[in-house]
Chains A and B, each alone.
Chain A
Amino acid sequence: MWTIFINIILGIWLMAAPTILGYGPIASDNGHIVGPIIVTFSTISLWEATNAVRKWNYPFALWLLLAPWILEYDLTIAIVSDMLIGAMVFAMSTLRSSMKNRYGGGWTSLWKKYPDHMNDPME
């Protein structure tokens, strides 16, 4: 759970940092686009049934490691900040929140041959 809140704060920082630290236009746009995506996926993953959505952060976290070089950021602080956030968001997104409830096998049950909700031990 706390890992998700860290991701939300990092996403908000991506949105705010360009103005606070005076990034160039390309680094700013990147933060303004990737920040809201990370905040959105992380917020959705706060709930148990949609906790797996945290993994949707992976491509965006990896992009943050590459973006400073591909987009050629001119500000060192922008390069350091984006790469650090990318690494942290990736690490935090790998961690599963502890589950209080069962969900009949969850979303993956919909593709399974023997989903949990069809052979429930409680029945």
Chain B
Amino acid sequence: MGQRSEYIPPGWDYNPAAWSQRIPIVILAFVGFGIATYLSLYQLNYVDTVWEPFFGDGSITILNSKISRLLPIPDAALGALGYLVDAISGIIGGTNRWRRMPWIVIVFGLAVGPLGFISVMLVVFQPVLFSAWCTLCLASAIVSISMIGPAMDEMLASLQYIQRAKRSGISTWKVFWGIQPEVEKIK
């Protein structure tokens, strides 16, 4: 499915927008969403305790830290929102979306990549500030960093496509948004 040869970008051996490439990332995003939702239910006081098998009071310390409440909504809720953006932007579009809708591929790449990276760093640096570890926060971080590598190939295909459009003198703006007559002109 999605490995039709005309959907393979020039100079590539496979189609990075094929479902076989995208579904594992979407599954990871939903796992991350589940973990982050559970943690935000604790932070919003909908559940009284949080599962912590290894680090004693670690999760409680971290999930109630000042940094986690810096913004109007708790950080785990922001994380859940981030994972939801990852999942939705991973699902939208067909198996030729790297050239038919580069914008969604770029949104997906930025949500999973740079934003994912920042959120991971925020989670993992908490031991420095609070001398505590949080099992589910670490699990969420592992999910996030596992998504980055597999998502980036599709972004590369879209950027190369935009590069080809630019070289052919076709409006980068229109190609980015996938406006039909322009898209047809490029391979």
Chain A positions near chain B (C-beta within 8 angstroms): 15, 29, 32-33, 36-37, 39-40, 43-50, 53, 100-107, 109-110, 115-118, 120, 122-123
Contacts and interface: CB of A to CB of B under 8 A. Distances in A.
Given A102-B11, A103-B11, A110-B163, 12 more contacts: A32-B124, A32-B127, A33-B128, A44-B145, A44-B148, A49-B149, A49-B153, A50-B152, A101-B12, A104-B11, A109-B11, A115-B163
B120 A40 contact: yes
Contacts of A49: 16, 149, 152-153, 156
Nearest to A25: B131
Interface in B1-21: 9-14, 16
Contacts of A15: 127
A49 B125 CA distance: 27
Given A104-B10, A117-B10, A43 B146 contact: yes
B150 interface: yes
B129 to A, nearest CB: 9
Contacts of B146: 43
Contacts of A117: 9-12, 160, 163-164
A105 B11 contact: yes
Contact of B160 (A36, A47, A110): A110
B121 A36 contact: yes
Given A101-B14, A103-B11, A110 B152 contact: no
A98 B9 CA distance: 21
A32 B128 CA distance: 6
Nearest to B168: A118
Interface string B1-45: 000000001111110100000000000000000000000000000
23 contacts: A29-B128, A32-B128, A36-B125, A36-B141, A43-B146, A44-B145, A44-B149, A47-B150, A49-B149, A49-B152, A50-B149, A50-B152, A50-B153, A104-B10, A104-B157, A104-B160, A105-B11, A110-B159, A110-B163, A117-B9, A118-B164, A122-B10, A123-B10
